[in-house]
Every structure is written in C-alpha cells, then in structure tokens.
A and B are shown apart, each in its own frame.
Chain A
Amino acid sequence: MSLFDDIHTITNEHVKDRQSAHRYLETVCAEMDALGRDIQAVRHIEEDFAHQQIDQLFDTDPGQRGPLHAVPLAHKELYGRKPETGAGWLYEGGSASCQGERAIETAHVIKKLDAAGAVDCARTVSVEYALGVTGHNNYAGTPLNPWNHDYICGGSSSGSGAVVAAGIVPVSLGSDTGGSIRLPAAACGLIGIKPTHGLVSRSGVFPLSVSLDTVGPLSRTVRDSAMLLTQIAGYDSEDPLSIKVPKIDYLSYLDRPVDGIRLGLETKYFLSGTDSDIADLISAAFEETEAFGARLSEAQIADIDTTNPLNVLMISSEACHVHIDRLVERHNEMNPQTVMRVLTGLSSTQEIEDRLAATRAGLAARIIEDIFADIDVFVTPVWPFALPTIADSDIGAKPEAAALMQHIGHNTRPVNFLGLPAIVVPIGFDKNGLPVSMQLVGKPYSEGVLIALARQCEKHFSFWDNRPPAG
C-alpha cells in the first residue's frame, strides 16, 4: 500500500472490503498525524467518525455504492460538519478569534461527497478567514511546501495543497475568493479548479465574500479533480448565488480531443505583470500545446486591469459584513494583516457596494463577450514571480514585503471578479526547483473543456513523474 495513489487505485486496490477499508483509513490517518503535522498542514483528524462512516458504507447494498466508496479525504477547515449525534467539528476559520467554535451544519458539498461514498477524516489548515495568499498563519500553523519545506504553499487553501502534494489524500476541497485554490495548487504542483460563478454551492462553508467565494478541488491528477467536481456541482437553494445548470459528467471530458481549440496567451496584463523567468516558462508551455492540436494566438483583454483592485475592494467590503463585530471584540487575537484587510472595507457605503456589484456584472457581461469572440480559452501564469520562501514572504516580520505579496493575486483575482472557470496545471519547475503552473481560463460553465485541455497538458508535461523530496 502506498501513498500518492489516485481515487481509481484506492477504490480498486485498497478499499475493496470492510477490513481493507478500515486498514487503509488507519494508514491515511497515521500519515496525516505524522507527515501531515510535520508539514503543519493538519488542523484536526476525525478517525473515529471516519471508521463509523466506513461501517455505514459497507452496510449498504453494494449496488448502491458511490464512485468515492470508502475513499478517505480531508478538506480545508472552512467546511462545516455537524454529525447526527454529538458536537459539530471545530469551525474556527483558521483564527484564534474563533477558537473553540463548532459547526452547526454540514456543508452542502460535504453532504454530496458523503452521498458519493467518501470518507471524511480530517480538516486542513486555512489562512485566517481565508484572507491571505501566502499561507502564513500564526495560530493554526503555516504549512510547509512538500517540495521544499523552506517555501510557502500559497494560500489560503494551504493545508489542502500540502496534504495532497505530500500524497496523503488524492484530493481535497479548498475555497477561492481571489486565488485561494489556484495559488496553493500551483505552488504545490497540483491541479486546482475554480468553478464558474453559481456552479457549486457554498452553503455551510465559512464565508469570506458572499459574492466572490467559490469552492473546488485540488488534486494530483486531472481525473480526480474531474471526479470531485462531478460530485459537488449542482443547484442548492440554500446558496443565494447558486444557479441551475444541467448535470455534467466531467469525467467524460477526459478523453475528448482538443484539436482546433483556440488558445490565447494574454500578454498585456497577465504576462507583462509577471517576472520574465516565469513568463518565459509559461510562453514556452503555451507554444507546446500546439503538439496536441491547439490553435494559438496572442490575446489582449480590454479593461482586465480594472478588475484586480475592484476584486480587492469587494473582498474587503464583504469580509467586513462577516467579521466586523468579531474584529471589534477580538482584534487582539487576530493577525494584524487580517485586521488591516477587513478594516479596508469598513468605509465602503451601501451605495458604493451597490455600484461595485453593478459594475462587476457590467464588466463581466462585456469582457466575456469580447474575450471569447476569437478564442475558447485564455492562458496566463498563476504566480507572478518565483515562489518565495516562508521567511521572505512573512509580512509580519518583513513589512517591506507587503507590496510584493499584494501582487501575488495579480493573475488570479480578475478571474474571480469576472466569475469565470479556471483550472491550473503544473508545467515544470522554477530555478529553485519549485513547481510552475499555467492557468487556463474558459467561458462560463466550460469546465469540461478546461478538463479536456488540462488532461492533454498533464500527459504532455508529465509533471507527476517527479515526487516531492520532502513528501
């Protein structure tokens, strides 16, 4: 039995019967407790609950078993779980200011994974309130990148990135408001999907920005992310922004050809805002996609630069609604960076917030029509510079790093603001041996196309022929 197996291998080889499923869970929880805690990625392990889930799963009719039958998974600590009996799981949002708080409901997507047979065994570290992109967290711990422990995992789904890259679980749910799935996925060499606006319910997930929050998977393989997305997508009346979209089996896109797909490399905003060593790697990878039939062109997106600061304004304004009362009471228990980011939204009046929402919708409608008139997918870097070390990106210790760290979301925030789907795919390594990834951004609800394209990239770049030395 080895770590680093994908869902298909786990279901077919490791959890074939009740006894082997319990044994495999014990192995995963032991790794979570040892390696997962060594890399500071784990918040809490719920092994007893998970064993109960396995017993319930094997009590059901074999014909009723789901595609994730008895597969142990662990998710970002923002995902609530309230078991039928007993207390809810810890639900602290990565913050000392929420110490001891417990979930009062189970997140909608966690219920969907339960229904698919997944076993829920742990929660992983989040940046405080999911409001930060480096992964630093003085309270819950700063996860160490499995590729090199001196480096950050990115955030805010930092713990999820770390446990998947370390091979402990095949996939983990994160959340993404300005890049918080894609940045850790890219930093850890993973596939990460930020779904289209309204496709996946956020109910029961610790909120940051009601308009911008999205939830999705981080995994080592495209197939595993496609599997998770297929399970969690769907309308939920409890999420005010949920949208009814016909059911899609994203796994069926894995084999679909992408010949003739029109890819655009956006040069004016994304590439020019990225350090040349990373930009050169992305440009070279873009050229290589011609090998599997993509038609390439340069692309420019009018007004895309306006979306970045507006995303920052929307996050801070809406985070203020969620957290201002707690901040008044317990700001001394919060990271000073979190306090600053929340307070930035306080002076936005309702009039400004209404204008911001209307401007967002107007920009989205116009820019989407403009971009996708001539291309199907646009390609960008994810990180705008080589991944920094934990020490160099610690704004608390190095205030002069703040401006540079603010730039981390340059390539990811516009995608949230426009509501578009994106997938990140690792394509190689930087000068320090850390993963480099490109971001594929598609039309609304084109996750299937992005998965087909990402699968071709996965085969072409063969990134996971390597393993993290520290994993």
Chain B
Amino acid sequence: MKKDADTIAQYYEKLATAGVHNALLEQTKQTNLELTEALLRTPEPDRIMSMNSVYQHYASNVQADTGSGEGSDR
C-alpha cells in the first residue's frame, strides 16, 4: 500500500465500513502516536545509511571458513 495521508485515510474509512470498531481504530492510532514519538525523540543519524550498507561493511571482513565439515566433539 502507499503510505500517504490520503491513502491512509481511505483505509480508515474502509475499515469503519467493514465494521472495525471505532474504539479499536482510535486505540491503535494512539499507540502508533506514542511509538512515533519515541522515534522522533531519537536523534536522526548524521548520514543516511541503510541496514544493508551497514552490514555489507561487516560482511566484507568475514573470512571463508569451510572447516573440517564435521566437528568431532559430540
């Protein structure tokens, strides 16, 4: 789904029409608000990175290790 304000609003309408209780919709909006506030309290990183770029850095330092193939200790 697109996560723009209009699309989100349309989904809330669809959910209400489908019989999802308004109290539940409001409760989950409130929970989202609290979680989003936690995000906004967290300082933005100095530079934009992705998890894959962070982890590719660590992966590049891994040495291949094909070992003995069995391991003797049982």
Residues of A participating in the B interface, judged by any CB pair closer than 8 Å: 8, 196-198, 211, 223, 226, 241, 243-249, 251-255, 303, 306, 309-310, 312-313, 316-317, 320-321, 324-325, 327-329, 331-332, 336, 339-340, 343-350, 352-353, 355-366, 368, 419, 443-445, 448, 455
List 19 extra interface pairs beyond A226-B71, A343-B24, A444-B55, CB under 8 A.
Answer: A8-B74, A223-B74, A243-B59, A248-B67, A252-B65, A252-B70, A309-B39, A325-B1, A331-B20, A332-B19, A355-B39, A355-B44, A358-B49, A359-B39, A360-B51, A361-B54, A365-B45, A368-B58, A445-B59
19 A–B contacts, CB within 8 A, in A order: A196-B58, A198-B55, A248-B67, A249-B67, A255-B71, A310-B35, A310-B38, A324-B1, A324-B11, A331-B18, A346-B12, A352-B39, A355-B39, A358-B45, A358-B50, A365-B45, A444-B55, A444-B58, A445-B62
How many contacts between A and B, using CB within 8 angstroms? 188
By secondary structure, the A interface counts as helix
Within 8 A of A (CB), among B24-59: 24-25, 27-29, 31-36, 38-42, 44-56, 58-59
User: Contacts A339-B24, A346-B8 given: A445-B1 contact, CB under 8 Å?
Assistant: no
Q: Which residues of A contact B59 (CB under 8 A)?
A: 198, 243-245, 444-445
Q: Is A253 a contact of B48 with CB atoms below 8 Å?
A: no
User: Contacts A325-B1, A353-B3 given: A251-B44 contact, CB under 8 Å?
Assistant: no
Q: Is A344 a contact of B35 with CB atoms below 8 Å?
A: yes
The CA of A313 and the CA of B24, in the complex, are separated in Å by 17
Q: Which residues of B contact A339 (CB under 8 A)?
A: 20, 24
Q: Is B56 a contact of A243 with CB atoms below 8 Å?
A: yes
Best-buried of B27, B66, B70 by chain A (most CB within 10 Å): B70
Q: Is B50 a contact of A357 with CB atoms below 8 Å?
A: yes
Within 8 A of A (CB), among B1-29: 1-5, 8, 11-12, 14-15, 18-20, 24-25, 27-29
CB distance from A194 to the nearest CB of B (A): 14
Q: Is B71 a contact of A223 with CB atoms below 8 Å?
A: yes
Q: Is A362 a contact of B38 with CB atoms below 8 Å?
A: no
Name B67's closest neighbour in chain A (CB-CB). Answer: A252
User: Contacts A249-B65, A361-B54 given: A345-B45 contact, CB under 8 Å?
Assistant: no
Q: Is B58 a contact of A247 with CB atoms below 8 Å?
A: no
